[in-house]
Amino acid sequence: MAFVAAAAEGLKRDVRVMSLIGTAHFSSHFYQLMLPPLFPLLAERFGVGYAALGLLPATFFTVSGICQTIAGFMVDRFGARNVLVAGLAALAAATAATSLVTEFWMLIVVSALAGIGNSVFHPADFAILNASVATNRLGRAFGVHGIGGNLGWAVAPVTVAALTALLGWQTALLILGSLGLVMAAFLWSQSAVFVDHRHPNVAAPGPPSSSRAAARPGAGESRLGADIRLLTTAPVLLCFAFFTIYTMAFIGLQTFSVPALMALADLPLAVATGALTGYGIGGVLGVLAGGLIADRFGRHTLVAVLGMAGGSLCSLMIGLGPSLAAFLVVMMTGAGLFLGLMGPSRDLLVRAAAPPGATGKVYGFVYSGLDLGSALVPLFFGWLIDSDLPRAMYLAAAILLLVTIVPIWQVHRQAVARVAA
């Protein structure tokens, strides 16, 4: 009976941790998609084209990528929950400040500030999940984390559109940013349940654990040298390459699908936004299935490869298929489904590359590839839209998704070789 009670208590704790981290990730992705649905209005308000508007996500993700590795080191130094709450508060405050801008250059500044806040989520979230959740539930934990993010993307366009229609875009952003500050306060009030990954036997906050330090310095080697050596190992660099290429396609589809679909099929704004929402909902369903598959069947490499191939096929069909609203919505939803399916398996592949005690810095560095890819692609995809080449955007995304299979397979080959040795 004592064993059953302990197991039930452990499950209850894990569910609570998953829910809190999923909510935090929801907030991160929700705020990432605040401005793209407003691009048609912002283009008219500030008299700029879509290539110029591409500077906003480019700035956001460039700053986030630069800061994400730094945030990973801060997570390992100061504790994940402290960094997580501070980042969420900064992201929400920047969103609220966006409502006050009067010139286009101000949008670039607040995008940079928002990028600083956004940089903390992956290193902090995964450090908390790996330390706080039972190993046999990590696939589902990563799935809940992914679902939270995809729900944020799915809900953001319709929420922004509805509030903008009722109150105007500036009031909408002020309200949504203020709600994020409330969410940060709630997360802090509940965060005692998190286990400090630096000292896994106690809840956060706690002192760093000397027994779990990863990549210990050798004779004559500094701690910084050991950290750099860890981050430049082949599995970590391959994971970084995967995230960079994958995100160039994923964020391109997410950021510019509304204007691209409007140009490609002459869809009204509401229908094009609905297709983007389908992309997010498909991602939620895919992550839900992917988490169960990851825990029950494994085969993480196979699932990741199939997900990327399926997403590539859907994007290819949009680029080459008929300009029918229903078809385009289905293909967008399918792309989200396949890309969501591979999410938990992808995160578990990264976990295998992160030694104990170094979760923050490894996840921070690897997932900065997300921000690098997000920063590289907006100007190019925006130029394609300005050049009236929306189909080319989807063809480019399809090619990028196929290319990601190369680093996935290389990570798998190296893992097999290490086991054989």
Say if CB 177 and CB 96 are below 8 A apart.
Answer: yes
pLDDT band at residue 190 using 50, 70 and 90 as cut-offs: confident
**What six digits make up the tokens of 180?**
């994020």
- Average the pLDDT over 360-378 and give the result: 79
Residue with more model confidence, 206 or 415: 415
- Average the pLDDT over 127-140 and give the result: 84
Give the per-residue pLDDT at 281: 84
- For residue 103, pLDDT over 60 is answered with yes
- For residue 310, pLDDT over 60 is answered with yes
Say if CB 18 and CB 4 are below 8 A apart.
Answer: no
- For residue 209, pLDDT over 60 is answered with no
- For residue 353, pLDDT over 80 is answered with no
Domain range 2-197+233-416, its CATH number among 1.20.1250.20, 3.40.50.20, 3.30.460.40, 3.90.1170.50: 1.20.1250.20
- For residue 26, pLDDT over 90 is answered with yes
Give the per-residue pLDDT at 206: 40
The pLDDT mean for the chain works out to 84
Say if CB 52 and CB 108 are below 8 A apart.
Answer: no
Give the per-residue pLDDT at 357: 62
User: What are the pLDDT digits (tens) for 213-270?
Assistant: 344 455 445 667 777 777 888 888 888 898 899 988 987 888 888 889 988 888 888 8
- For residue 204, pLDDT over 50 is answered with no
Give the per-residue pLDDT at 380: 85
Give the per-residue pLDDT at 229: 78
Residue with more model confidence, 291 or 219: 291
Say if CB 315 and CB 400 are below 8 A apart.
Answer: no
- Average the pLDDT over 139-152 and give the result: 84
Distance CA 237, CA 230 (A): 10
Q: Please, how many CA atoms are within 13 Å of residue 328, restricted to the half-sphere of its CB?
A: 27
List the chain domain ranges. Answer: 2-197+233-416
Distance CA 289, CA 365 (A): 27
Give the per-residue pLDDT at 25: 93
Render the burial of 326-348: b for 16+ CB within 10 Å, e for the rest: eebbbbbbbbbbbbbbbbbbbbb
- For residue 211, pLDDT over 60 is answered with no
Say if CB 173 and CB 87 are below 8 A apart.
Answer: no
Give the per-residue pLDDT at 313: 96
Highest mean pLDDT, choosing among 82-96, 315-329, 334-348, 400-414: 82-96
- For residue 131, pLDDT over 80 is answered with yes
pLDDT above 90: percentage of residues in the chain: 31
pTM for the model = 0.72
**Helices marked H in 133-196:** 138-167, 169-190
- Lowest-confidence region among 26-30, 146-150, 243-247, 373-377: 373-377
Say if CB 233 and CB 359 are below 8 A apart.
Answer: no
Which amino acid, 41?
L
User: What are the pLDDT digits (tens) for 378-413?
Assistant: 778 888 888 889 899 999 999 999 999 998 888 777
Distance CA 57, CA 41 (A): 16
Say if CB 319 and CB 395 are below 8 A apart.
Answer: yes
Distance CA 154, CA 416 (A): 37
